[in-house]
Amino acid sequence: MSIWRYANPAEFMRITDPLVAPLWGAAAVLLAVGLWWSVALTPDDYQQGSTVKILFIHVPAAMLAINTYAVMAVASGVGLIRRHHVSFLVAKAAAPVGAAFTAIALITGAVWGQPMWGTWWVWDARLTAVLIMFFFYLGYMALWAAVEEPEKAADLSAVLCLVGVVFAFLSRYAVNFWATLHQGASLSVAEGQRVDDAFRTPLYLMIVAFYLFFVAILLVRARTEIRARRARSLRLQEARA
Amino acid sequence: MIEYLTTDRHALYVVAAYGATAAILGWLVWTTLAANARARREMQDAEQRRKR
Amino acid sequence: MVRSPFAALVRRDTRLALRLGGGGAVGIAFFVLAVVLIPLGVGRETATLARIAGGVLWVAALLAALLSLDRLFQADYEDGSLDQLMLAPMPLEQVVLAKTIAHWLTTGLPMTLIAPVLGAMLQLPDTALPALVLAMAAGTPALSFIGAIGAAITVGVRRGGLLLSILVLPLYIPTLVFGARVVEHALLGLSTAGVMGLLGGLTLFAAALSPFASALALRINAR
């Protein structure tokens, strides 16, 4: 028995079916506890005041903004090599989720930056790289939408995703390089720099909650894609008969 | 809670951040569930038609 | 004279682009016009123009290269020549390489040659012009190579121009950053060798990756 058995759409549906509800439940419970803890039970930061509460959603969203693309790249690579539709569909299902987390990271970052840095936006290396990431997601989704044949769309967007992951690394490096001269003293307060104990536990809770939420919504979206694909092929069979 | 909202000078920013996040995630969950229900219906319709 | 199929393909595509209506000259005109618009928009102050000249020239080059990408595979895909080329004994990767080189010869090369004139008009000091030309020569091939991947992916999409730009522009960011930085270093009197190395390395990397990725995308589109 190998793990490729799960790449069979029917098998994938059968195995993931009992997982969906518990995942939603676990994500909801952890999110509720994490939110309560981070909003109501943490003190204000001595420098940041109550805006520190924004970081409890900003940090997990930013982590997922990057990691979702990694999930898509792995799924695209596996899809291209092993020719599994489920892999392509997982990559397709992940893209809007990644775009949403990227948007959240950008918006919460801007709202945090205004009171803390006195500006909504700085051309900091990290911020700029996340903004570029957002356009990678947009392009990937636009390609899926533009190619009519699903089989072609799957392969082409997988190629784009893999080329994109290489250039995402290059862009990150280039942007780091670019930010060193334009910005003498970096305003960036590195999130991981120094997290006080009082903030650490709720932050970890929120990170786990966001990841559970991601897995839950990714599963549902992938199952949706598989069903839509099955419905489409049944319709085509019908039309041919 | 009300005391926080009326006295903290950063309250608006915090509320805006949480509000925007809730709106985006809510929209994502809503469209995901709606698409899932639609796909499930379409697949069942197609399978039933095939059986007949 | 024995002429290799590779050279013949480069010649064919170059000629097609240079022909009246082939789009080669129009692309260069676009590049010049885009640069000329900048002083009209930001003002004619010498120090400001010199400060932004490198970035402006690179952004204009990016857009000019982008707008000419559709002629790389599109016409050949539509009239069926691409299918013929795929059946030819020459590997598709070589076909892509030849067509990309022809694209550079008709976009990147003329832009490189005209860049010092535009740089001087943007008040770049003469000392920075050699670095500008070198940077354009080392960096513009990357625009053609990276663009070829995007053009190959979108070749089957009707009215794919906008889609192509949203796919390709993010991939152009490293080239833009390093290319403009070479000019900036030259302007500030710093050594340009390090950045130039990064820019050249990027071009070589794109040249190594592009023929395979583009050929893969073309094969998928031809199925």
Identify which of C149, C160, C217 has the shortest CB distance to residue A146: C160
Please, are residues A142 and C163 in contact by the beta-carbon 8 Å criterion? yes
Chain A contacts of C163, Cβ < 8 Å? 139, 142-143, 146
B34 in A contact zone (CB under 8 Å): no
Give the nearest partner residue to A234 out of B9, B29, B46, using CB atoms: B46
Nearest CA-CA partner of A66 in A157, A124, A108, A129: A129
Instruction: Give me the residue from A132, A156, A164 closest to C217, CB to CB.
Output: A156
pLDDT given for residue A192 in this prediction: 46
Beta-carbon pairs below 8 A across chains A and C: 74
d(CA A7, CA A174): 37
The more confident residue out of C44 and B52 is C44
| C173: nearest Cα among A176, A197, A108, A54 | A176
Tell me which residue in C163, C169, C177 faces A175 most closely, judged by beta carbons.
C177
Classify A49 as helix, strand or coil: strand
Whether chain A has a CB inside 8 Å of the CB on B23: the answer is: no
Measured CA to CA in angstroms, residue A195 lies from A55, A127, A200 at distances of 11, 20, 6
Kindly report, residue by residue over A82-97, the tens digit of the pLDDT: 888 899 999 999 999 9
- Domain locations along chain C: 5-222
Give the one of A111, A227, A237 whose C-beta lies nearest to B17's C-beta: A111
- Residue listed under structure tokens 């936006």: A121
A5: in domain:
no
pLDDT tens, residue by residue, C54-92: 999 999 999 999 999 988 998 889 888 898 888 888 899
Residue A15 lies in a domain: no
Contact A61 B21 (CB under 8 A): yes
In this predicted structure, what is the pLDDT of residue A51? 79
User: Could you tell me if residue A8 is inside a domain?
Assistant: no
Domain count, chain A: 1
The neighbouring-strand residues paired with A45 are A49
Query: Does residue A220 fall inside a structural domain?
Result: yes
Sites in chain A below the pLDDT cut of 70 = 1-3, 6, 46-47, 180-197
A147: alpha, beta or left? (left if phi > 0; alpha if psi -120 to 50): beta
Q: Where are the alpha helices (DSSP H) in C69-172?
A: 70-78, 81-87, 92-106, 108-121, 129-153, 161-171
* Residues A185-234: tens digit of each pLDDT: 444 455 445 566 677 888 889 999 999 999 999 999 999 999 998 888 88
Average pLDDT for C17-29? 82
The pLDDT of residue A46: 66
A230 touches B: beta carbon within 8 Å: yes
Domain hosting residue A99, numbered range? 21-41+48-183+195-240
Query: Which residues in chain A have Cβ-Cβ distances shorter than 8 Å to B11?
Result: 50
* pLDDT score at C1: 53
Strand-pairing partners, residue A49, are A45
Q: What is the distance in angstroms between the Cα of A180 and the nearest Cα belonging to chain C?
A: 11
Residue-wise pLDDT for C125-157, tens only, equals 999 999 999 999 999 999 999 999 999 999 988
Distance to chain C for A83, nearest Cα, Å = 13
Whether residue B29 and residue A217 make contact (CB cut-off 8 A), yes or no, is: yes
- In a mutagenesis test of the A interface, which of B2, B6, B13 is the best target, namely the one with the most A β-carbons within 10 Å? B13
Question: Residue C17: which pLDDT band, with cuts at 50, 70 and 90?
Answer: confident
Q: Does the complex come out with an ipTM higher than 0.85?
A: yes
**A100 part of a folded domain:** yes
C174 three-class SS: helix
B21 touches chain A (CB under 8 A): yes
pLDDT of the residue at A78: 93
